[in-house]
Structures are given as C-alpha cells and as structure tokens.
Structure 1
Amino acid sequence: MKKEILNMKETEILERYLRGERDFRGIDLTAANLIGAKLIAANLSGSNLKEASLARAYLERCFMLEANLNGAFLYGTNLNYAKLRDSCLIEADLTKADLSGAQLHKANLRGAKLSGAVMSWVTLYRANLPGVNLCGANLNGINLRSANLEKANLNWANLTGARLSGANLRGAQLNGVKLEKAFLNGLTLEAIDFSSLELSEIKLSGAKMAGANLQGTNLKDSQMRFIRLDEANLQQANLQGSNIRGGQFIKANLMKADLQECDLRNADLSNTNLNLANLRGADLTGANLRGAYLWGANLDGANLENADLRDASFRDATLNGAILNGAILTGAIMPDGRIR
C-alpha cells in the first residue's frame, strides 16, 4: 500500500526527532511553526511544508527531495548540504539563508527571495529561477548549468568560477557582477553590457555576443574560441594571452585593446577597428583582416602567415619581426603610406 501521508503537530515531530527518529518522509506540516527547530540530517522527502515557518531552523544535510516548500519562511535557515532536488520553493523567503553546498537540481525557485543568502558551491543545475533576486549574493563556484535565470537580478553578485553553460540569462541584470573564471560557454549574450568588468580567465567559447559592450573589460587569459563578437565594443579591453582562435569580430571596435600574445588563428577581423591596438606577439595565422583598420597598431613579432590583409590599413603601425609569409597584401596601406 502507498505510504499514508502523516499529519502531526510541531511538538510531535520534534519529540520523535529527539528520540532518534529521522525518517519523516511524506509528512504534512503545512503552515507549521518550526522556527529555530533542529532537524539535522532528517529525511523530509516528499513532505508538505507549504508556508511553514522555518526561520533560523537547523536543516543541514536534510533530505528534502520533491518537498513542497512553496511560500515557506526560511529566513536565516541553515540548509548546508541539504538535498532539495526537484523541490518546489516558489515564492519562498530564503533571505540570509545558508545554502552552502546544497543540491537544488531542477528545483523551482520562481519568485523566491534570496537576498543575502550564502550560496557557495550550490548546485542549481536546470533550476527554474526567473526573476529571482540574487543581488549581492555570494555564488562562488555555483553550478547553474542550463538554469533559467531570465530577468534575474544578479547585480553585484559573486559568480567567480560559476558554471553557467547552457543557462538562460535573457534580460538578466548583471551590473557589477564578478565572473572571473566562470564558465559561460555557448551562451547567447547579444548586446549585453559587460563594460569595465573583471572577467579574467573566463570561459566564453562559442558564445554569441554580437553588439555586446565590453569596453575596458578585463578578459586576460580567457578561453574564447569561436566566439561571435560582431559589431561589439571592445575598446581598451584587456585580452592579453587569451585563446580567441576562430573568433568572429566583424566590424567590432578593438581600438586600443590589448591583444598581446593572443591566439587569433583563423579569426575573422574583417573591417574591424584595431587602431592603436597592441598585437605584439599575437598569432594571426590565417586570420581575415580584410579592410581592417590598424593605424598605429603594434604588431611587433606578430605571426600573420597566410592572413588575408587585403585593403587593410597599417599606417604608422609597427611590424618589427612580424611574419608575413603567404599573407595577401593586395590594396593594403603599409606603415609608410605605400599601397601594395
């Protein structure tokens, strides 16, 4: 027979817990008052805790698989390493809750309050978080792969080392967000504003960022293979040492950008503004620079082997030690003003 749903008062569950019982699966505690309760490592899977008051409760290492916590009051609750896979937390109040290491695979957090919550190393794989408020939250190392973060407030959040590949960030607020070493491979982030942010060592391979604003952004040592940055603004951006092999920058603004030692093999930089850019030691083997502007650019020691340089302008650029074997220079304006 299917296990009968239990009904008990708050005092009963606490008494049973004190006697050593830990299995409370399927329990009905709708609107229960369990403020400050200690239920460490209890099994509350499939339980109904809708609109329950669990503020400052101790629920670390609890099993709460498929639990109903819709509208629950979890202010300051300790949920360290709690298992909340497939749970419902719609409009739950998790303000200042400690969710460190919690597992929230496929959890529904629509409309939940997470302001000030501690979420280091939380797993939110495929979680539903549209419009959620994570402003200023510590999300260091969080797993948000394939999560729905549409219109989420991530302003000033710490997403260092976060895994966001496959996530939906359409309309998300990202002012002042920290994304060093984060994984954003394959994301669609067109026209997004990442200007002046710290994005060093970020993973953006295959990302679609046409029209994005990355002016003054630090992208040093990043992985950006096959990224799409057509018509993006990367003026004065730091891309030093980044892997941008096969990237697409058609008509992008890279004026005064630092591209030293970058891997730009087979990149499409046609009609791109690279005036005064630093490309010292960059590998541009097979790159398309047709019609690009490189006035005053530093290309000392750059590898331009087999690159398409037709109609490019190198006026006042430096090319000391640059490799031009097999490069197509038809119509290019050389540093001294001569047209090839």
Structure 2
Amino acid sequence: MGAAGLARPSAGIVRGQRPLLRTGGAATLLLAGWLLGACAPDAPSAPIANVPTPEGMVYVPGGTTRIGAEDGTADERPVFLAEVTPFFMDVHPVTVAEFRAFVEATGHVTEAERLGDAGVYDPGNGGWRLVPGAHWRRPMGPEAPKPPDDHPVTQVSWNDAVAYAAWAGKRLPTEIEWEHAARNARNARHPYAWGEALVEDGRHRANTWQGPFPGGNTGEDGYLFTSPVGAFGATELGLTDMGGNVWEWTADWFRPYAERERPYTPGGASERVQRGGSFLCHVSYCHGYRVSARSRSTPDTALFHVGFRLVRDVQPRSG
C-alpha cells in the first residue's frame, strides 16, 4: 500500500471487523467561520485548593476550547466550542514497564495474545500485515527485539487500555479532553502541542517519519520506531509525547463532528477515536501529530504504533 492508500479513511488490512489503520486525508484549506472567530475562549480555571496532583500526572485546568481545525481534514470539521472541566492527565503514555506491572498484578491477557497476531506495518512493501506472535511484549513479532521498558506500550487494544485504566483507578480521556490538553488548556491555536514547527532551532520536537514514504525513513530524529517517553521535551502544561511516537486511544466512539449531538448506537464495525499521531506519520499523507488530527480503529484492534495514556477526575476534598 502506498501513501495514497494510507490517506483513505478505509485504508488498512482487515480481519473480520478489525481495520488495521485509519488516517485522515490531505488538508483542505477553508476559511474559519465568523462566529468562531468572534467567540473568545474562557480563561483556564485555577488549580483547586488542597487537591494534590497525583504522581506522574499533570493538572489540566478547565476552560473553553475550539475543537477541530478549519484547515484540517474533513473529519476535523466543523469546528465547535466545548466546555471542559479540570482533570489530571498522565505526563506520558503508559510505558512497557507500567503495563508489565499491570499484567503481573492481574494476569491480564491482551487481545493480541488471545487472537494470536497483531498489526505491523512493513515499510519495505508499504503494507500492513497480521504478524503471528506479535503482542505487547514483542510488538513487531516473536523474532524482533523486545521494546525497552521506557517506551510506550503498543499492541494494546482499546479494551486492554480500559482494563488497565480500571486497575490504575483512572480512565481514558475523551477526545475533547485530549485536544484541550494538547492546546495547553488555553485554546492555543498552534498546529502542534508544543508550537508551530516540527523542528525548532535544529531540534526535533516529535518522533515522526522523515524521508520518503513508505520505504525511506531516515531516522533523523534518532528513532525509526517508538522512542522513550519524554525524549522530545514537554509542552507548556508539562505533558510529553502529545504528538508523534504513538497514537493514543480515547474514550469516544468515532463520529463526524456534525453528528456529535445526535443519538448513536454503536455496531460491530464502530470505531474508537485515537489522537496524537505516531512515528509512522508524515506531513505528506497523515500529519496525525497535529492537535486536531483524528484516527480510529475498532476496540479489539492492536497495532504496533498505538498506545494510550490516562486521566483522572479532580475530586475536591470535603471540609
């Protein structure tokens, strides 16, 4: 599959109802609506007194955020305003070591392990394939190296992420919460969570694809696949890996924004939203590390470039 195939929303190989890749198409420039241009966002909320931030998390103030991008792909429009209450968010995606602790404590068996294979992209032939024996311990297959402990865990389905969240006493973020945090809780309109450019003063700000796609990743940012969490610095809020490295599962079913307030009954082919882009993304065909970019897969899908991070509700202390 070439770059054109990757740009189609239905691209990727499928086993039953398990699509292995979902990406947006090329950006289409549109003028922002007058109403959104005229509506100023609310100021972020102040930290809640006497509520400590949990270890490994960041306090994300509430506020009003414009979700989406008029110059983005079709599934990022129409832009709309969303009110967000404060929450805590993991500094980085869940790591291999953290997921191992969960498995050792609970005996959890991931869906990729139960099914016997998982999705791996082969840049040599430009296609996705189900690799027997691929799972979170060996994301690229049983013959490939183990992932380092400080890299994001991958080959975890949405259902696996939810199971981990229940064990950790947290939850997956909504996609509105994720974008609000990526916009630094103040409706920042930069294309990326850290600012305007992928490379600043000669420094790469995210783990993405460099060079021609599909077979020419030069690894100029130092990594061909996943990278250690936090390797590319933090955002204004103190979050890392909010663009590139791995796509991240969110709580929401994927729907066009125009239908977001309509009743919805998910079916067997319904998909959950992913945010943040990955090391496979490039501006020419995906550009998924923009703060407004969306991807999606069915809840049982496991892929070698998808992980997750969690959030926790702010519970004010009584008295």
TM-score by length of 2: 0.17
Q: Which has the higher strand share?
A: 2
TM-score by length of 1: 0.16
Structure with the bigger RCO (C-alpha within 8 Å, sep 6+) is: 2
Q: Which has the higher helix share?
A: 2
Query: Rg bigger for which structure?
Result: 1
